[in-house]
Amino acid sequence: MNAASVKPSGFAYVPWTGPTWVQFHNAIIDDTWTWRMPLAAGVNPRLAGSAYYLYSWRNVGGGDYGHYIALRGYSGNFQSSAYAYYNDSSGGKDELTGETILGSTGAFSDLSYTVYKTMMNRYGNLVW
């Protein structure tokens, strides 16, 4: 992300493991509102047995998955009603093998807490 972004002077993306939901949501606010920069969350978008999954993976059965999504915005501030806006590029076909890839590609939104839980269901990694 550092190499692919036009960042403000002195800005660098850094990994953060295990933030609280408040810290997670505040990072989205700070990066997307103040800096106009996206973040990346390492998620398990549809962990088997979890009540939390990304809308972009609604048509996929539960399993042990993992990939990154780009967080690009938010609305609201309260855990029960705040949303996170993200882009997911998990759908489509593998360019080399032609194999169908799970998930969906596009712009999505979910409750911020749901996105946070899918991140914590992986390794809790946020790149901000």
Residue 47 burial (10 A CB sphere; 0-12, 13-18, 19+) = buried
Q: Judge whether residue 80 has pLDDT over 80.
A: yes
Question: Is the pTM for the entire model greater than 0.85?
Answer: yes
Between the alpha carbon of residue 96 and those of residues 76, 88, 91, 99, 109, the distances in Å are 41, 20, 15, 8, 30
Reported as a pLDDT band with limits 50, 70 and 90, residue 9 is confident
**pLDDT tens sequence across 99-126:** 888 999 999 999 999 999 999 999 999 9
